Amino acid sequence: MSKKSIIVGGVELKWDLETGEALFEGRDVVLFWTSAMETFFDTIKDISGIEATQLVLETTGFRQGVIVGEGFKDMKHIDTSNVVEWISNTYAPAGWGKVEIVEMDVEKNTFTMHIQNDWEYKMNLLKNNNAEGIFVPSHYAGVLTGLFGSNFWYKTIQYQNEDTPYSIVEYFPSEVTVQQNIHELSRKQEADQIRKLEALVDDHTKALQSLVKELSSPIIPVLEGIIVVPMIGSYDEQRTEDLIFKTLTELPKHKAHYLLIDLTGLNQHITEHTASLIDKLGASARLLGTEVILVGISPELAIIIAQSQNSLKTFESLQSLQHGIYYALGRSGRKII
């Protein structure tokens, strides 16, 4: 009683309880409950995500089918003359549901299958969802690939549901391979990661630009009615507009009578554009009733200002910020004691 052998649909199944062997047409097999397969699939999805899981199932189903097709091609001498009967008789005893080739074009080497109540469909029913089969349809593409030695792919026309008693799947020779699908997913995932990194870099860049904007040209109210604007580094068009707008907005708020533009941070690197910026800023401040004083003037910078085509020479210029503050206090009738 430890050994048992039966024939189901022309397929031989053997069990040897002493050795623990289960054989399907002379080859080792293992049985799983459909609910156990559901857990297996869900675990892959939890780890890999939905898109990667679909590719894993499709690739695995196809490759398993290739092994089956190649094995039975040698064992049963299967070709287009008996493949219809073999497909139907082999998979039903194995618990894969009813599968039938309903249409076959020998010249074009195309097949149309009806797949009914396969284990993947039952597994999806257990989860109470309308998930579409991936593993089983791709498996039969692998079977045909193994049988005929050329690559087959598939297209599901209709999935089994409450209104349709079976899935309708077309199989045809194709240059599409699972390796290509794997590479495409890898490239897509790499592209997605690159886009995420670019978005992250863009967000950080905007944050840094905002921080630089706040720190690079601060408005410093040193004393009542006296404002200092230190100029540091180079100024492009955007930074120039930001400086002028911010300064002119802050002057009325602080009731500034004196604006000290500190040029210490420019050193000798003042350009015609920077000189024009200073001229424009000073002229605009004057229109608001604010007297402009240039401070932090080095001998080298004084030469550059003197040679400039702008009207910077019309502004009061002093050597240091300290001198500028004392000067503004004196002009306003105050002094530090």
CB atoms within 10 A of CB 23: 14
Q: Is the pTM of this model over 0.75?
A: no
Rounded to a whole number of angstroms, the CA Rg of the chain reads 41
Q: DSSP letters of 99-124?
A: EEEEEEETTTTEEEEEEES-HHHHHH
For the stretch 178-209, pLDDT in tens is 766 665 656 655 566 667 776 777 777 777 76
> What percent of the chain has a predicted confidence (pLDDT) above 70?
88
Classify 217-331 by CATH class: alpha beta
Residue 85 confidence (pLDDT): 84
Q: Residues 148-155: contacts with CB within 8 Å, 24+ apart?
A: 148/69, 148/109, 150/109, 151/175, 151/176, 151/177
Task: Tell me how far apart the alpha carbons of residues 246 and 238 are, in angstroms, rounded to a whole number.
Answer: 12
| Multiple choice CATH, 33-176, 1.10.1060.10, 2.40.10.340, 3.20.20.60, 3.30.1380.20 | 3.30.1380.20
33-176 and 217-331 agree in CATH topology: no
> What percent of the chain has a predicted confidence (pLDDT) above 90?
24
**267 three-class SS:** coil
| Ranges under pLDDT 50 in the chain | none
Task: Tell me how far apart the alpha carbons of residues 242 and 268 are, in angstroms, rounded to a whole number.
Answer: 23
Residue 115 confidence (pLDDT): 95
- Domain residue spans of the chain: 1-31, 33-176, 217-331
Place of tokens 């149309």: 112
Reference 270, options 8, 130, 262, 78; nearest CA is 262
The H or E element spanning position 286 is helix 272-287
Task: Return the exposure string of 268-278: e unless at least 16 CB atoms fall within 10 Å of the residue's CB, then b.
Answer: eebeeebbbbb
